[in-house]
Structure 1
Amino acid sequence: MDTQREVWSARSVFILAAIGSAVGLGNIWRFPYVAYTNGGGAFIIPYLIALLTAGIPLLFFDYAIGHKFRGSPPLAFRRISRWAESLGWWQVGICFVIAVYYAVIIAWAARYAIFSLGEAWGDDPEAFLFGNFLQQEDTARVGFDLVPGVAITLLLIWIATLVVLAFGVQRGIGASAKIFVPLLVVLFLALVIRSLFLDGAAEGLTAFFQPDWSILTNATVWIAAYGQIFFSLSIAFGIMITYASYLKLKTNMTSSGLVVAFSNSSFEILAGIGVFAALGYMAAVAAVPVDEVVSGGIGLAFIAFPQIISAMPGGPLFGFVFFACLVAAGFTSLISIVQVVIAAVQDKMRISRLASVALVGGSMTIVSMALFPTTTGVGVLDVVDKFVNNIGIVGVAFAAIVATIWFLRRGPEFVEHLNSVSSFHIGIIWRLCIGVATPIVLGYMLVSEMITLVDEGYGGYPTDFVAGLGWAVQIALIVLALALSLLPWRQGTDLTPPKHHEFVNPGGHR
């Protein structure tokens, strides 16, 4: 095995970094909206079932691969089987695509933290966002006219990200997680507490938690729950494989996974409380029902919340804290996404971390700067994000499980490894979840989403626009993954699986 591989200094640092990766923009602006539109308080039931039957099993699946086979996704899958390497490169490609657009949303949030102090959006936050700030064209196309205010901030985000990554796993990623994750929790708790004391907060929370039990018989609600878990836990596209590969050989894996999974879900519920308390205030001020002010995604963060900030006492400070939370959550997630690509290049080419950061980071920065801080960037981002999440991540998760669990039959080996180093043991229930329940749900999600996108298109965009940025990009990622898997590894790379005795825990967890 590679004796020079970097390691986390302690399990607690890994847990913080994993939480930092999992807790991202989607926890704050996606979960509250998804929960509200899928039964409110009743949604918690399918959400928790999805967490237990798919989220945690997939997290353990990633941990087993990363920790046992000690490599980035391509190297770890290559050590499992020669023909499985392409799965790892598929995950790397997905991370590349996500990173180049995810960074620009962090740049928007950073600018809005400053805008909040003077309520720069005035009386019409939507017109300010798309007109004054992003300067978006009405035409759906790929243009290269930069918007300086966005481009400069995006460049600074990339510089900060690559500086952190250049310092390595422990001094860079680990150190930043120890700063940003606690900071995020403190800031968001302050935000939630302030929201709870706003007029109308109780009505907002009632709208959020009031259960609609009848909706539990609706299959789309259950798919929404599984989708939220897949998209929010940083599972199935290489991050947790990469992070687990830096753990010491004798590390309690399953207990770490439980801490990460439940911390992520706790933050999502906390986000729902804070967001809906604030939306309740907005509804009270506008004298309309809560359902008329509910939104998700970009609309929630950059249109609804500026309206709340302008209306509430102490709004500028509240706004600054809210957007600072978005920056902190997004930044730790971006670091983890880029690290997957850096680790893969570093492993395949056997080059130094600094060289890999420069090569990968430079490429990502160029693509990101060319496509997204432009007058056509929002449409490009919207389509790319839709396809990489709903087709790319779901597709590679399904393929990885089918390949390793069904065809290669490595499930018992993964169980044995995790149990040999962990205090919380897994067995037949995990194998049923990862081998039956999870692939069935993933397969259904993938097929139904593909049918919908083929039949209906997406977002009212022109067919060629969706085909080029959506379908073509996803097909290209698969073709590129296959091509990269055919390239030889640098001489000296150990492609053999680890010896079993390397992982035996003297504590007797067998």
Structure 2
Amino acid sequence: MMIFGAIPLFFMELVLGQFHRTGAISVWKIAPIFKGIGMAECLISYYVAFYYNVIIAWALYYFIASFSRVLPWTRCDNDWNTDRCYTSANASAIPANGSSSTAEYFERAVLGLDSDSGIGHLGAPRWRLVLCLMGVFVILFFSLWKGVKSSGKVVWVTATMPYVVLSVLLVRGLMLPGATEGILYFITPRIDRLSDPSVWTDAAVQIFYSVGAGFGAHIAYASYNKYHNNCYRDCLLTAGINSATSIFSGFVIFSYLGFMAKRENVEIDEVAKWGPGLVFVVYPEAISVLPGSAIWSIIFFFMLITLGLDSAMGGLEAVLTAIKDEYSWFIKRHRYGREILTGVVCGTAFLFALQNVTNAGIYMLSMWDTFAAGTAILFVVFWQAVAVGWFYGLEQFCNDIEQMLGFRPDWYWRVCWKFVSPVFLFVIIVSSIASYNPLVYKTSTAGDYTYPPWANALGWVIASSSMVLVPVVAIWKLSSTPGTWSQKLAVNISPHWEHRAIMSGETKVKRFQVSTYPTHTTSVVFIVKL
């Protein structure tokens, strides 16, 4: 998925942003009919800010709670604990249907989750989480309000700090009993799982999330690069470092999971939880049994905060740059236009995020996480590959790269852009929809929560709200462009520098004919010089 999907489209986005010097919306002056792709990418990034920053707020909550003599999730005598609670100290004698003190702290003390909660009964926002969430958005605002001048400086801390902390945690984790078993579990392949379509869908979503393709962030940041910056090198280095970091962090995590499994005398599968349970239940429990646990906890959650802020800045910068470029007149008219725009985007995202810090907010967060940027991001990236490879044209795109970088992409890039990546994405999109199962959220203290049918329908509305922008904007562009239908179509699938010639009658449209026009290769409709 990385080699044939994420890397080619990552490089494509860097080229688009760096060559055309605009954000994710305005860049589609190369083919206006696909402007909805940029809008969809920005909307998805905006949606992600609703729930991703809540996870950072949880990390901030834990970070503050770690400044105590005894970590609060290591005890069972608190108001939020149940009679089924057990601690890491007595993990060898787990009661029937018992729940760990770390799970009860996360689900009951932090989230306020109980058996009466449900997505239809969210309740009021929890004030402690609201303050943490507000703190996260305030940090993001001051990191972004001056554009890349401010965010670029912050990234020096947020991008490098996790490597230092992970290295320290790995050294400590390798010294624990059971670490070897955990690492072996991590690196031992299970080839039979490749027959499961959900594995491929998860791989695609994960790598696009991890690399960041499809969110508009790379187009935004690349638009600030120098024109001849070697974005090809940047693409390969970033993708390589990204995957190496994932593997490295896997060693760190599974060394502790192996330790937990050995200590509780259970299989690693039973402690290797997915989702927030891994970060906010399993890892705090593993840290709590280490000497000087409070120090380790402070270090770990500080790392999570910096790591989260780094990703959150990229997503919001994609939105800010796209709006700034599309409505540059507003920014130029107002002295503090960038600051006002940043305040509006961060402020509204904060208000929408409040739904996820209520007593049942975890159910809303899980729904946003499943639908906002799952199938939707793959759908948008699919159309991005089609738009560049089949309408803007590979020949023109390769000419842009040669003019900017001094070389033409070889056959691997061409084949991926035109055939392999779109086909891969299309198959994954169809598989993800066909293999969809109604949402179920598993908790340790309140049992499994099955989402009602209307909640699943709402989730698909969220997913569709971004995907529908692609056809809706295409129809709007065709209907609002002056001229005959041939001219409308010709203008909207052509770069902006060809529009004057098209509208003046110097070019005409011929259907299903191989083009000799210098900026295009093949397409459904071709512009042919008279």
TM-score grouping bracket, smaller chain normalisation: 0.7 to 0.9
- The reply to whether residue 348 of structure 1 matches residue 326 of structure 2 is yes
Structure 2, unaligned stretches of length 5 or more?
Answer: 76-86, 88-100, 332-336, 441-449, 481-494, 499-530
* Residue of 108, 125, 128 corresponding to 1:149: 128
* Residue of 11, 26, 31 corresponding to 1:75: 26
1:505 alignment partner in structure 2? none
2:412 alignment partner in structure 1? 429
Q: Whole-Å Cα distance in 2 between the matches of residues 380 and 70 of structure 1?
A: 37
* Residue of 38, 41, 61 corresponding to 2:12: 61
1:391 alignment partner in structure 2? 375
Superposed displacement of residue 418, structure 1: 2.6
Superposed displacement of residue 480, structure 1: 5.6
Superposed displacement of residue 167, structure 1: 2.0
Q: Whole-Å Cα distance in 2 between the matches of residues 58 and 354 of structure 1?
A: 31
Runs of 4+ displaced beyond 6 Å: 481-485
After TM superposition, list the pairs within 5 Å mapping 1:88-99 onto structure 2.
88-99=38-49
Q: Whole-Å Cα distance in 1 between the matches of residues 270 and 290 of structure 2?
A: 18
After TM superposition, list the pairs within 5 Å mapping 1:262-301 onto structure 2.
262-301=240-279
Q: Whole-Å Cα distance in 2 between the matches of residues 479 and 217 of structure 1?
A: 31
1:135 alignment partner in structure 2? 112
CA distances 1:98-133 after superposition (whole Å, capped 9, x unpaired): 011111100001111233343211331111111111
Instruction: Report which stretch shifted further, 137-146 or 334-343.
Output: 137-146
Superposed displacement of residue 81, structure 1: 1.5
- The reply to whether residue 438 of structure 1 matches residue 408 of structure 2 is no
1:166 alignment partner in structure 2? 145
1:501 alignment partner in structure 2? none
Larger relative helix fraction: 1
Does the 8 Å contact 2:34/2:470 carry over to 1?
Answer: no
Question: Which amino acid in the other structure matches residue 380 of structure 2?
Answer: V
Does the 8 Å contact 2:385/2:422 carry over to 1?
Answer: yes
Superposed displacement of residue 483, structure 1: 6.8
- The reply to whether residue 410 of structure 1 matches residue 393 of structure 2 is yes
2:460 alignment partner in structure 1? 471
The answer to which structure, 1 or 2, has the higher relative contact order (CA under 8 A, 6+ apart) is 1
Q: Whole-Å Cα distance in 2 between the matches of residues 383 and 133 of structure 1?
A: 19
After TM superposition, list the pairs within 5 Å mapping 1:141-220 onto structure 2.
141=120, 143=122, 145-170=124-149, 172-213=150-191, 215=193
- The structure-2 alpha-carbon separation of the partners of 1:424 and 1:155, relative to structure 1 and needing over 3 Å to count, comes to farther
- The structure-2 alpha-carbon separation of the partners of 1:359 and 1:222, relative to structure 1 and needing over 3 Å to count, comes to closer
Q: Whole-Å Cα distance in 2 between the matches of residues 279 and 176 of structure 1?
A: 32
Question: Which amino acid in the other structure matches residue 112 of structure 1?
Answer: Y
Question: Which amino acid in the other structure matches residue 50 of structure 2?
Answer: V
* Partner SS for 2:272: coil
1:119 alignment partner in structure 2? 71
CA distances 1:336-395 after superposition (whole Å, capped 9, x unpaired): 1111111122122222311211222222122123x1221121111101110122221111
- The structure-2 alpha-carbon separation of the partners of 1:166 and 1:323, relative to structure 1 and needing over 3 Å to count, comes to same
1:87 alignment partner in structure 2? 37
CA distances 1:421-453 after superposition (whole Å, capped 9, x unpaired): 337752221121122222222112211221233
Structure 1, unaligned stretches of length 5 or more?
Answer: 1-49, 489-494, 499-510
Q: Whole-Å Cα distance in 1 between the matches of residues 406 and 240 of structure 2?
A: 17
After TM superposition, list the pairs within 5 Å mapping 1:298-377 onto structure 2.
298-350=276-328, 351=331, 352-369=337-354, 371-377=355-361
- The structure-2 alpha-carbon separation of the partners of 1:54 and 1:479, relative to structure 1 and needing over 3 Å to count, comes to closer
Q: Whole-Å Cα distance in 2 between the matches of residues 102 and 420 of structure 1?
A: 38
Q: CA RMSD in A?
A: 2.3
CA distances 1:72-95 after superposition (whole Å, capped 9, x unpaired): 111001x11121111100111101
2:452 alignment partner in structure 1? 462
CA distances 1:176-201 after superposition (whole Å, capped 9, x unpaired): 11122111211121111211111111
CA distances 1:436-473 after superposition (whole Å, capped 9, x unpaired): 222222112211221233xx3222211101212x1112
Does the 8 Å contact 1:57/1:434 carry over to 2?
Answer: yes
Percent identity over paired residues: 27
TM-score (norm 1): 0.80
* Residue of 414, 423, 447 corresponding to 2:430: 447
2:504 alignment partner in structure 1? none
* Partner SS for 1:345: helix
Q: Whole-Å Cα distance in 2 between the matches of residues 104 and 223 of structure 1?
A: 25
* Partner SS for 2:138: helix
* Partner SS for 1:372: helix
Question: Which amino acid in the other structure matches residue 39 of structure 2?
Answer: W
